Amino acid sequence: MADTTIVRGRGRGCLRLFSVPGARAFTLGGLIARFPQGMFGISAVLMISGARGSYALAGAVTATGLVATAVVGPWTARLIDRHGQARIAVPAAVVSACGSLALVLCVRTGAPDWTLFAVCPASATTPNTGGMSRARWAHLLRDAPELLHTANSFEQAADELCYLLGPVTAAFLCGSFFPEAGTLAGAVLMVGGVLVFTAQRATEPPVRRPAGPTRSPLRAPGMPPLLCVFLATGAVFGSLEVVTVAFADARGHRAWAGGVLALQAAGSCAAGLVLGALRPAGPAERRHPRCVAAMAVLMTLPLLAAALTGSLYLLGGALLVAGTATAPTMVTGMTLVQRRTPAGRLNEGMTLAVTGLLGGIAAGSAAGGAAVEHGGPTAAYAVPVAAAATALLLSLSGRVRGAGGRAGGA
């Protein structure tokens, strides 16, 4: 158990967390392992679209890999809950890296398009390092809920930092060296980071084996509508990435796409750090719909910037502002997931949330690519707006059903 007295006495905001023994070491490993999250998507889009000349194909292949990850991810997380992080995450990361290497070889050798769809799912065993890191914080800070809020905010900011620097790094590697460089570098970082992370055994949560059968997180009260919100939120991210790459390419600045996307992550990262320094106002059940509503409103800014000005600079500014609603939405959503997941299945519950995101990203990538092909990149910015509006409707609907259930139970 963390010495919360020491933690409270040192620093402010997220800095308090690093007074927890072992926190710095597993955080470093987690950051390295998660950094490729911001690289793989845009690396695949740049690699495949550059070699095959089709954004629709690039989006479809990326979507296939994400769907496979969405299916396999919960099973990997369940194994982690049953057998421990170190025993499962390392071989899972190695298998995933082999899948990425196979995709690179197919693109590099000019293999038929169908082979890209065949080998891409092999990378689906990528362990959810963010979920494992949050599980460590939940274990270490189980008697300090206010610090757990700070830890969740920090983890979201860390995710956004990966999405901030990852696309820039991927675009630089693919543009400066060779198209496959981003995917290869991401695989190396992912495996290396998982090795560093899992080596920190002192902070690893103990394996809990319930005496009897436990309820699946999918059947936990309030989880299905919450996962649907994650699905729609993922569609915002997936479509935004593909459409922004196409928008930059249409203006002759393809290499700038990663930097423009990084501004959206920068806004979210800053919001996450600020959120971690503040005390949450009211229960997460009330805050979550408000955060989703802010995301839906702000997501109209990129569409307006693209349609009214056509300027890549103003689009970047719009993405920066729109990103400030991402971290609050994700932090409150993950807080609800932690509260609603049955004991002993926390990794699985959080991975199901990530699965919803990945499924949404897959659908959003495919929809964004198709919209670019048929209507152009400017009009395609309507796709993330529609996805954000859908997330809001699902959030409000889930809140109403939850309130009705509590009233009925009373």
Cβ–Cβ < 8 Å for 1, 143? yes
pLDDT at 236: 93
Which amino acid, residue 329?
Answer: T
- The pLDDT tens digits for 78-121 are 888 888 888 999 999 999 999 999 999 999 888 898 999 998 88
Cβ–Cβ < 8 Å for 243, 375? no
Across 5-19, 20-34, 42-56, 191-205, least confident range: 5-19
What does the DSSP 8-state code read for residue 122? Answer: G
Phi-psi label, residue 360: left if phi above 0, alpha if psi -120 to 50, beta otherwise? alpha
Provide φ and ψ at 211, rounded to 5°: -65, -35
- The pLDDT tens digits for 218-230 are 777 778 888 999 9
Whether residue 143 has pLDDT greater than 80: no
Q: How many CB atoms lie within 10 A of CB 177?
A: 12
Quickly state the pLDDT bin for 185 (edges 50, 70, 90): very high
* Residue listed under structure tokens 């409707």: 393
pLDDT at 81: 80
- The pLDDT tens digits for 7-21 are 444 445 567 777 777
Cβ–Cβ < 8 Å for 353, 334? yes
- Residue 185 sits at the vertex; the CA angle it makes with 182 and 58, to the nearest 5 degrees, is 30
Quickly state the pLDDT bin for 142 (edges 50, 70, 90): confident
- Domains delineated in the chain: 15-206+217-409 (1.20.1250.20)
Q: Which residues lie closer than 8 Å to 242 by C-beta, 6 or more apart?
A: 45, 55, 58, 59, 62, 364, 365, 368, 369, 372
Whether residue 406 has pLDDT greater than 50: no
Nearest to 291 by CA among 316, 314, 277, 272: 272
- The pLDDT tens digits for 57-68 are 887 888 788 778
